[in-house]
Amino acid sequence: MSSSLTETAPEIAGRQTGGEPALTYQPHVDVCDTGSSLTIRADIPGASAESIDVAFEDGVLSVHAKVPARELPGRVLRQEYGIGDYRRSFRLGDGFDGAGITAEYRRGVLSIDVPRLAAVRPRKVEVRVAPA
């Protein structure tokens, strides 16, 4: 896990979380740190962009997605994945620009881009050749 990202409620991925009226699931996430921003990709198959909430408050990034009940016609023979909403949240470190967060949902994957504040972005210092 990236050094600037911590799970708010460390639990086993995919495990059901309690306290909800219906079962909720933790989506699998991938995190990419580009230096200027964090990109978080969450597997949320079966949802739609309108039913996904992404919130950033007090340094905590949270994702909640409503997934419609999957209808399996007839007699069920196998059920390897459950039906329920997805919920997961992360505490980000300081220095992120909450107003600049963007999110996109495509092919069952939610991609969230959290930019760092310009002041804390790593800067590459160019080394110039001193005049002879």
Partner 1 sequence: MNLIPFRTKRTSGIEAGNMATLADFRNEMNRLFEGFFSRPLMMPTWFEQVEPGQWMPAIDMSEDESKIHVRAELPGMGPEDVDVSVSEDRLVIAGEKKTESASWAHRESHYGAFTRAIPLPEAVDPSQVTARYDKGVLAVELTKSPTAASRKVPVQIGG
Conformation bin of residue 22: beta by default, left when phi > 0, alpha when psi is -120 to 50: beta
Member of 102, 108, 117, 118 binding partner 1 (CB under 8 A): 108
Q: Is the dihedral of CA 62, 63, 66, 69 positive or negative?
A: negative
Closer to partner 1 by Cβ: residue 77 or 125:
77
By CB under 8 A, the count of residues binding partner 1 is 41
What mask of x and - would describe binding to partner 1 in positions 20 to 39, judged by CB under 8 A? Answer: -----x--xxxxxxx-----
Strand partners, 91: 6, 60
77 sits near partner 1 (criterion: CB under 8 A):
yes
Q: What is the DSSP letter of 98?
A: G
Member of 76, 99, 119, 129 binding partner 1 (CB under 8 A): 76
Member of 19, 22, 69, 78 binding partner 1 (CB under 8 A): 78
Cβ–Cβ under 8 Å, residues 54 and 103: yes
Nearest-CA neighbor of 116 among 62, 38, 30?
Answer: 38
73 sits near partner 1 (criterion: CB under 8 A):
yes
91 sits near partner 1 (criterion: CB under 8 A):
no
100 sits near partner 1 (criterion: CB under 8 A):
no
Closer to partner 1 by Cβ: residue 97 or 109:
109
Residue 29 to residue 19: CA distance in whole angstroms: 22
